Amino acid sequence: MRVLLIEDDERLARLVKTDFEHKHYRVDMAHDGDIGLEMALSGAYAVAVVDWMLPGRDGLAICRAVRNARLQLAILILTARVHTVDRILGLDSGADDCLVKPFDLDELSARVRAVSRRFIPIEGSASDPMELRCGDITMDMQGHTVRRGMTGLDLTTTEWHVLECLMRHPNQALSREQIFTQVWAHDSRACERLIVDQYISYVRRKLRTSSDVSDPIETVRGIGYRLNTH
């Protein structure tokens, strides 16, 4: 899951980002409201964690702008305001939840999971909406486990994100640029083509659970890669 964190306290933002990444979330950060809103409106995120008091546009203004844009984005407001009337104001401005500072990181993660479930579509099936399935590959988004058939796969955080990107677009040819943008967009040190090819090879190796299974990741000449479901 991709999370946008808009928080001007850079020390707190780093703590939250590190904790979220350990829990297999992809996290982008902004430290002022104007940049944060621009990122939120990109449509790239499942959840935005937004501080109430920010330089530029404040958290409530961000909530109202996102809701006016009719964007499917779960928003959790962080605030030092302890009064009920303030939390009600946050919710009435478009937030899905409010969490008072200081907070426990595990509680923040639990609330992020809770608000994200409201925006995950269930496409006519009884399966867990927090689970991705492509062919014989299953990715449990909540338990952070991946298996092919009955075999569990041990993926690094980056390998997880690469496979997740492919699984969210089954049978679609994704360019290296598209994969890079989803996984490494904010890492200026990464070399697009080389790092995508390298991690695709890592994921392919781990998907080969035995010698008789096919490679589900197809190289699309001149474009990039496709995860086939058949």
The torsion defined by the Cα of 194, 166, 44 and 25, in degrees rounded to 10, comes to: -90
Does residue 172 fall inside a structural domain?
yes
Q: Are residues 115 and 40 in the same domain?
A: yes
Do 54 and 92 fall within a single domain? yes
> CA 160, CA 171: separation in Å to the nearest integer?
18
Query: Do 48 and 97 lie in a common domain?
Result: yes
Domain with residue 50: its CATH number is: 3.40.50.2300
Q: Is residue 64 located within the same domain as residue 143?
A: no
One domain for residues 79 and 177: no
pLDDT for res 87: 80
What tokens does 137 get? 């590959």
Asked whether residue 180 is assigned to any structural domain, the reply reads yes
- Per DSSP, the three-state class of 31 is coil
- Nearest-CA neighbor of 205 among 175, 165, 162? 162
pTM for this model (two decimals): 0.56
28 beta partners: 4
Report the pLDDT value the prediction gives residue 188, as an integer from 0 to 100: 46
pLDDT at 223: 86
Domain annotation covers residue 124: no
Structure tokens at 163: 């496979």
Residues 143 and 187 in one domain: yes
- Which CB contacts under 8 angstroms, 24+ apart, belong to 201-204? 202/156, 202/159, 202/162, 203/155, 203/159, 203/162, 203/163, 203/166
| Same structural domain, 91 and 140 | no
Q: Do the domain assignments include residue 22?
A: yes
In a domain, 18, yes or no: yes
Q: For residue 190, what pLDDT is reported?
A: 54
What CATH number does the domain containing 152 carry? 1.10.10.10
pLDDT given at position 185: 55
The predicted structure's pLDDT at residue 197: 93
Looking at residue 182, its pLDDT comes to: 74
- Look at residue 118 in the predicted model and tell me its pLDDT: 64
Range of 55's domain?
A: 2-119
On whether residue 125 sits in a domain, the answer given is no
Is the domain of 28 the same as that of 102? yes
Are 27 and 112 members of one domain?
A: yes
Does residue 58 sit in the same domain as residue 155?
A: no
Those residues with Cβ within 8 angstroms of residue 109's Cβ, 6 or more apart along the chain or in another chain:
19, 20, 23
pLDDT by position in tens, the chain (length 230): 789 999 999 899 999 999 998 887 888 999 999 999 988 888 778 899 999 999 989 999 999 999 888 888 899 999 888 788 878 888 888 898 999 888 999 999 888 988 877 664 433 333 334 788 898 999 987 778 999 999 999 999 889 989 988 998 888 888 888 888 777 755 545 566 788 999 999 999 999 987 778 899 999 988 899 999 87
Per-residue pLDDT, 200:
95
> What is the residue type of 37?
L
Asked if residue 146 lies in contact with residue 152, where contact means CB atoms within 8 angstroms, the answer is: yes
